[in-house]
Every structure is written in C-alpha cells, then in structure tokens.
C-alpha cells in the first residue's frame, strides 16, 4: 500500500525551507535538494505518515550546518568541479553562439545565390550592375558569370556543413564535461542522502518516544481542523476504488458512509492521485438541485479540464488566413483536434451560432464582378436536458476516438440533497452518462443507497441497482491509523490520548480531529502536560452536557414537559465540577422518564439513546482513568482491540442503539474480566 504525506503548511513556505537548505549547500539546485530529501525520506515502515514532510524539512534545515561541516571535503570538491564545468560550458556556449551566427550567414548567402539564377531567368535580363568590387581587394564578383555564383554557393554550403559539424563537436564536449562532473556529484549526493537519512532516523526515534509518552505535551495544533489536503492515512477503501477504476474501461462507483467518515477527502485523494495520467474533475453537488443546471455544470467542468490539459500542447495558429493554405498539407495533431472540440462544446453549452453566406454579382464597363460575404449570428440557446446529455455523450466518445486520457468525474455531497427523491432524480439524470468508454464516475451517496444496492438480489430494482457497478462503504480507520493521523498533524501525539479520541469519536475522522483538538485546548488551558486520565473526564463531561442541552431543547420544542425536571437536575449535576463525573454517570437512571413517556415513541427513543450515551461515557472514562498506561504497556494488542470495540459501540449509537448496547455490554465484560 502506497503512502502519501499531507503537507499542511503552504507550498510556498516549504519551498522557502528548501531554499534555506540550498543556500548552505551550494551549488546544488532546489530541484536536486528536493529529490535527495525525498530519497532519504523513503518509506517509514511502521511510523509511516507520522513524520510530516514539513517537519522533516525543518529538521534538515536545522541540521544543515552540521551536515555541511561533516561533508566539507565533498562539498568543496564538488563546488570547485562545478565552477570548472561552468567556466568551460560558458566558453563552449559563446563559441556555439558564434558558430550559429556564422551558420546563419552561410545559410542566407546560400539561399540568396541559389535563388539568383531563378530570378535572372524570370526577368530575362542581367541586373543593371553585374560586376561588384570587393573592398580592399583586387577581387571582383561578376553576377553575370554563373561560375562565380556557383563558387559562392558551394562555399556557403561547405561552410554550413563544417560549422554544423563544429557545433556537434562543441555539444559533444559539453556533454563530456558534464559526464566528467558526475562521479564527484554522485559521491556528494550519496553523502548528503546519508545525512538526510540520519535526520529521518532521529525523527522516527522521537516519534516512537512520543508514542509511548504517557502525557500530552503539545499545546499547539493548528492543523487539527478540517482542511482540504492530500492523503493523510492508508485507506483500504481508497485502494479498492483505485484498483476498480484502473482495471475497467469504464465504471460508475458509489461511495457511502456516515457524515464525517471521509467521503469528501477520499474523492479529493482520487483527484490528486490519478493526475496527471488521468483528467480529473471534482464537483460538489449544489445546495439547490436542478437537473439541467447540474448536467451543464458537469459538462462545462469536464470540457474545461480537457481543454486545460491539451491547450498547452496544441500547435498555435498565428494567422488564420495563412492556416487555410497550410492546413491541407499537414495532419492536424490530436491535441489540436481536442482543443477545437472542447472550444466548440463550451460555445455550444451557452450559445448557438448561425453562419449566413451571401453572394452578389454583376456586369460593368470594367468587366464582371463577384462578391461573397459571410455574416455570423450568435444567439443564446437553452439546450434541453436530453440535448445536453446527448451532446455530452458525443463529446466524450469523440474525445476517446482522438486518443484522450481517461476521465474521472468525482461528484461529492450527493447525499446532502434535501430528500431521497432529489438524490434519485440526480442519479437518473446522470445515468445516461455512466459506462461510456474511457470515462469513470465516482459519486458519494447516502447509506440508504448502499442498503438499496445490497438488497438488489431481492425482487425489486431501483435506480441505484441499475446505475452503479458497486457501492463501496467508507470504513473508519483503525486505532493505529487514527493515531498516525493525529501524530502527523500535531508533530507528536501520545498513543494513549489518541486511543481515547478514537474510542470517544467512534473512529469517524471528523469527530476524531475535534476530540483531539479539545484535548490540546485543555492542555493549553491547564498550562502543563496532561495524562489521558486527566483529559477523559472533562471532555466527556462537556459532550454529555451538550447532549443534555440538545435533549432539553428537543423536548421543549415538541411541547412536552414530562421528564424535563429530571434532565434539568442532571444538567445541574454535570455543571457542578465538584461532583465526580463517574458518580454522576453511574447513578443516573432514566427509567422513570421512560415509563412516564411510554406513549411517545420519539421521546422513548431519545431517552434510550441518552441513557446508553451516559453508560458509554461512564465505561470509557472508567477505563481510561483506571491505570490505563500500565494496561497499554502490559498488553498493547489487547488494549487496541478493546478500544476498537468501544469505537464500534459509539459508532452504532446514532444508527442502531440495540447493536450499540450489545457491543457495549460485550466490551464491558472483557474489561471487567481483566480487572
């Protein structure tokens, strides 16, 4: 599984770090420095994705003076050899410029005297002055004498050939000088790579120490937010989708998962990873859906992406009048055809063009006259949805015939449409575009769509079954990968704290980052390093208070009053910091409220989930405040498995309360047996 690294810092800032490194290692270029850094970075094994690229670059910049001092002899030897190479290359460059000028003069002389006989024959007479005296010599040039012309023409040809050979010799000498420089350069590159690798090893050692560190020391984590970035942890779902796309000539794949599971991030990974071999388009679904506008938006974005890729490779036509004469004599490159096709369809989407030719003729005293005029009218035309889909289909097929790249169209947030009917309508409006050769669609859909697709064997068929080749669910990361995500974003995150964040967030990346951010905020407010046993109670307390506030708001909004007093009393206990959180959660009993609201199904479901939420909060707080670090050291694999079950219970709480209750009961049995 290939790993990519998120660079949360701006790209320009990273380049400035590399420039600092390059300034201390002259005369190595920025590009070569980056190549050497990447070679030393390599694969980090079990610590993959924990060391960020920015962190690595900063560490190298801090050690560059030590590296330069250690390899001073190699750096100085390469610098002198490079100066020698530059001096000789500059001499050869000046010589090549002189030879090029001489070659150009010889070519112009040859062309002139080669065409002179033709000009003479055309005008059928000798020019007024046929004899020219060469200044300061006794030589004469007789243009009426063909021998003189052929001597000059032959001399120009000989000079052109000799100069061309000299230019090849000069280029060969430059190449030899460069090859002569390479042994010294390669030795320096090898030493620098070893020095950079030493920095990586030290960072990995620090990462392992932070992994086992029982306290959270970092009080600053600016990247613990939802930022658009490259891939941040290995994902089996991602690899599965990429493999499916690469093995098929066309496909339509749905991506399903809970809110915050990482569907948008996964689609952005696809767009970034498949470039430049593919043409990729990423489009969020508009909040207000209209089938025609949505299809037009996809069409326009795809044509613009194709145009951007091929426009720089197309041969520019500087004169349309001149191009009319040369077009029949040269084949049009495929890039030119693709550019012309894309420009045409972009005009078609919003405009309609009409060309009208008029011919007028007549006789006069001077003879006959014929006049031909062209009038072009461009008018706005609203294409219907079938016309737009037909044009898009034809465009993709024509683009494929021209040998274009594969196209990936990633449509995000389709699951956020107001209703399931709108989502089905959106899929219906796009299904005619699915499974065209050379094009692939990846669409984020709701979990309801996944259920419909899984039940396709039962005798009913709907749009999801008939449109998608597969619907793949985005699974939460493992506890280990969740720690790597947090450690990568913070530059160091204890695994004990990361496991708590995983258990309390259910492993959902968005909630995982939020919980970790709150841990860092608590560390900053306290002004000292904190253990997971100190972090778990306040975070769970705050979230339980928020859940109580939401339950109270829901109850009062629906006009109910039963059960409000007990919820208010429970909220007051939560706000009292002097009362132990474990005591509050352990002694909370909502059974009376459940019996009181026995006729209100929605209220019963809410109270059951709230009671289960309290039980889960108590179990997690109790587990992490009861010698958790000793348990982690004693049996790491077993602790990780328990955390995984806590996460599954929290994840199931919002969708399947009964399943969440069963999972929580099972994990509590395991924890109790260990204690």
Whether 131 is in a domain gets the answer yes
Output DSSP code: residue 489: H
Percent of the chain topping pLDDT 70: 72
Please measure the distance between the N-terminal and C-terminal CA atoms of the chain and give it in whole angstroms: 38
For 639-658, what is the mean pLDDT? 89
Whether 324 is in a domain gets the answer no
pLDDT at 537: 92
Do 481 and 233 touch, CB atoms closer than 8 A? yes
- Model confidence at 8, in pLDDT bands (50, 70, 90)? very low
- Model confidence at 309, in pLDDT bands (50, 70, 90)? confident
From 516, 540, 519, 539, select the one nearest 530 (Cα to Cα).
519
Whether 611 is in a domain gets the answer yes
Do 441 and 253 touch, CB atoms closer than 8 A? yes
**How does the average pLDDT of the chain come out, rounded?**
76
- Model confidence at 252, in pLDDT bands (50, 70, 90)? confident
Q: Is the pLDDT of residue 366 over 50?
A: no
For the record, the structure tokens of 282 come out as: 């990423």
**Residue found under tokens 């959270």:** 216
- Model confidence at 229, in pLDDT bands (50, 70, 90)? very low
655 or 131, higher pLDDT = 655
Whether 218 is in a domain gets the answer no
Four-residue CA torsion sign, 110, 114, 115, 116:
positive
Strands (E), 331-398: 351-364, 367-380
* Alpha-carbon span 335 to 341, nearest angstrom: 10
Q: Is the pLDDT of residue 319 over 50?
A: no
pLDDT at 135: 60
* Alpha-carbon span 368 to 362, nearest angstrom: 6
pLDDT at 372: 53
**Residue found under tokens 């009671």:** 611
pLDDT at 662: 92
262 or 604, higher pLDDT = 262
Residues 281 and 296 placed together within one structural domain of the fold: yes
From 589, 605, 601, 595, select the one nearest 562 (Cα to Cα).
595
Distances (CA, A) of 645 to 133, 212, 278, 322, 543: 103, 22, 40, 74, 20
pLDDT at 117: 61
478 contact partners, CB below 8 Å, separation of at least 6: 507, 644
Tell me the per-residue pLDDT of 529-576, one tens digit each, with 9 for 90 and over.
999 999 999 999 999 888 888 888 877 776 655 557 777 888 888 888
Whether 227 is in a domain gets the answer no
For 369-395, what is the mean pLDDT? 67
From 659, 567, 662, 649, select the one nearest 606 (Cα to Cα).
567
- Model confidence at 367, in pLDDT bands (50, 70, 90)? very low
Q: Is the pLDDT of residue 623 over 90?
A: yes
Residues 139 and 125 placed together within one structural domain of the fold: yes
Residues 45 and 188 placed together within one structural domain of the fold: yes
Residue 318 DSSP SS3: coil
Residues 141 and 155 placed together within one structural domain of the fold: yes
Which domain-ending residue is among 212, 245, 271? 212
For the record, the structure tokens of 276 come out as: 């430049």
28 contact partners, CB below 8 Å, separation of at least 6: 22, 36, 188, 192
* Alpha-carbon span 634 to 637, nearest angstrom: 9
Residues 537 and 390 placed together within one structural domain of the fold: no
Residues 278 and 397 placed together within one structural domain of the fold: yes
Q: What is the tally of structural domains in the chain?
A: 3
Angle between helices 11-23 and 30-41 (to 10 degrees): 100
pLDDT at 118: 57
pLDDT at 26: 74
**Apex 325 CA angle, 320 and 328, nearest 5:** 110
pLDDT at 222: 73
Q: Is the pLDDT of residue 365 over 70?
A: no
Whether 372 is in a domain gets the answer no
71 contact partners, CB below 8 Å, separation of at least 6: 188, 191, 192, 195
Burial class (CB in 10 A: 0-12, 13-18, 19+), 53: buried
Q: Is the pLDDT of residue 227 over 60?
A: no
Tell me the per-residue pLDDT of 50-84, one tens digit each, with 9 for 90 and over.
566 777 888 888 888 888 888 888 888 888 888 88
Residues 254 and 192 placed together within one structural domain of the fold: no
Burial class (CB in 10 A: 0-12, 13-18, 19+), 301: middle
376 contact partners, CB below 8 Å, separation of at least 6: 353, 354, 355, 356
pLDDT at 641: 93
Residues 194 and 81 placed together within one structural domain of the fold: yes
* Alpha-carbon span 34 to 21, nearest angstrom: 10
**Apex 100 CA angle, 96 and 103, nearest 5:** 135
Whether 371 is in a domain gets the answer no
Q: Is the pLDDT of residue 143 over 80?
A: no
Question: What residue numbers bound the domain in which 396 lies?
Answer: 236-315+332-355+379-473
Among the listed ranges 25-34, 557-566, 662-671, which one has the minimum average pLDDT value? 557-566
From 572, 581, 505, select the one nearest 541 (Cα to Cα).
581
Q: Is the pLDDT of residue 608 over 50?
A: yes
Angle between helices 146-212 and 479-490 (to 10 degrees): 110
30 contact partners, CB below 8 Å, separation of at least 6: 15, 18, 19, 22
Which domain-ending residue is among 441, 473, 505? 473
Residues 570 and 641 placed together within one structural domain of the fold: yes
CATH number at residue 280: 3.40.50.300
pLDDT at 666: 92
Q: Is the pLDDT of residue 494 over 80?
A: yes
Q: Is the pLDDT of residue 352 over 50?
A: no
pLDDT at 348: 78
Whether 89 is in a domain gets the answer yes
Residues 455 and 553 placed together within one structural domain of the fold: no
pLDDT at 538: 93
For 382-395, what is the mean pLDDT? 82
Residues 115 and 173 placed together within one structural domain of the fold: yes
For 595-613, what is the mean pLDDT? 71
- Model confidence at 203, in pLDDT bands (50, 70, 90)? confident
For 475-500, what is the mean pLDDT? 83
For 260-288, what is the mean pLDDT? 82
Do 200 and 40 touch, CB atoms closer than 8 A? yes
Element (H, E) at 295: helix 291-311
Which domain-ending residue is among 435, 457, 473? 473
Among the listed ranges 185-189, 447-451, 543-547, which one has the minimum average pLDDT value? 447-451
Residues 114 and 240 placed together within one structural domain of the fold: no
């Amino acid at each position: 599984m290939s790993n990519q690294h998120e660079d949360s810092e701006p790209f320009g800032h990273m380049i400035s770090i590399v420039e600092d490194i390059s300034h201390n290692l002259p005369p190595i270029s920025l590009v070569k420095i980056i190549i050497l850094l990447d070679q030393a970075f390599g694969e980090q094994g079990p610590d993959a994705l924990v060391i960020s690229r920015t962190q690595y670059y900063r560490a190298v910049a801090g050690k560059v003076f030590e590296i330069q001092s250690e390899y001073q002899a190699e750096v100085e030897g390469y610098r002198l050899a490079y100066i020698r190479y530059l001096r000789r290359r500059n001499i050869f460059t000046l010589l090549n410029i002189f030879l090029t000028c001489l070659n150009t003069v010889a070519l112009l002389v040859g062309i002139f005297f080669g065409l002179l006989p033709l000009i003479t024959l055309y005008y059928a007479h000798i020019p007024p002055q046929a004899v020219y005296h060469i200044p300061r010599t006794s030589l004469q040039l007789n243009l009426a004498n063909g021998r003189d012309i052929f001597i000059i023409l032959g001399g120009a040809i000989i000079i052109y050939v000799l100069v061309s050979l000299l230019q090849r010799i000069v280029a060969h000498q430059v190449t030899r000088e460069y090859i002569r420089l390479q042994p010294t350069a390669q030795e320096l590159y090898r030493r620098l790579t070893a020095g950079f690798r030493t920095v990586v090893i030290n960072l990995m050692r620090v990462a392992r120490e932070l992994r086992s560190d029982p306290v959270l020391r970092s009080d600053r984590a600016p990247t613990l937010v939802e930022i658009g970035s490259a891939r941040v942890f290995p994902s089996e779902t991602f690899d599965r989708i990429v493999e499916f796309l690469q093995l098929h000539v066309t496909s339509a794949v749905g991506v399903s998962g809970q809110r915050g599971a990482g569907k948008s991030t996964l689609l952005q990974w696809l767009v970034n990873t498949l470039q430049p071999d593919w043409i990729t388009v990423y489009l969020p679904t508009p909040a207000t859906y209209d089938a025609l506008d949505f299809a037009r938006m996809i069409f326009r974005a795809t044509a613009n992406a194709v145009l951007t890729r091929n426009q720089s490779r197309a041969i520019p036509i500087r004169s349309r009048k001149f191009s009319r004469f040369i077009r029949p004599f040269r084949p049009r490159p495929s890039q030119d055809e693709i550019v012309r096709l894309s420009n045409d369809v972009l005009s078609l989407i919003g405009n309609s063009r009409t060309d009208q030719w008029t011919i007028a003729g007549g006789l006069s005293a001077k003879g006959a006259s014929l006049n031909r005029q062209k009038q072009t009218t461009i008018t706005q035309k609203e294409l219907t949805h079938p016309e737009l889909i037909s044009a898009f289909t034809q465009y993709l097929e024509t683009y494929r015939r021209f040998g274009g790249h594969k196209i990936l169209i990633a449509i995000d947030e389709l699951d956020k449409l107001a209703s399931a009917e709108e989502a089905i309508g959106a899929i219906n409006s796009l299904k005619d575009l699915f499974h065209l050769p050379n094009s692939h669609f990846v669409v984020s859909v709701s979990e309801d769509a996944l259920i419909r697709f899984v039940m396709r064997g039962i005798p009913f068929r709907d749009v999801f079954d008939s449109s998608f080749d597969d619907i793949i669910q985005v699974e939460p990361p493992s506890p280990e990968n969740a720690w790597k995500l947090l450690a990568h974003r913070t530059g160091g995150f204890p695994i004990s704290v990361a496991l708590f964040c995983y258990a309390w967030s259910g492993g959902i990346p968005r909630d995982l980052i939020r919980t970790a951010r709150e841990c860092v905020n608590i560390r900053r407010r306290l002004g000292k390093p904190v253990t997971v046993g100190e972090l778990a109670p306040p975070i769970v307390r705050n979230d339980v208070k928020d859940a109580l506030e939401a339950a109270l708001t829901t109850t009062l909004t629906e006009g109910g009053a039963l059960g409000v007093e007990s919820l208010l009393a429970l909220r007051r206990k939560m706000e009292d910091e002097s009362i132990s959180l474990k005591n509050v959660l352990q002694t909370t009993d909502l059974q009376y409220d459940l019996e009181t609201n026995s006729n209100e199904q929605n209220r019963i479901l809410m109270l059951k989930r709230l009671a289960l939420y309290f039980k889960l909060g108590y179990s997690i707080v109790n587990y992490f405040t009861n010698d958790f670090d000793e348990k982690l050291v004693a049996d790491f694999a077993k602790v990780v498995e328990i955390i995984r079950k806590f996460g599954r219970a929290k994840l199931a709480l919002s969708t399947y309360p009964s399943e969440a209750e069963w999972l929580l009961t099972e994990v509590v049995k395991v924890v109790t047996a260990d204690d």
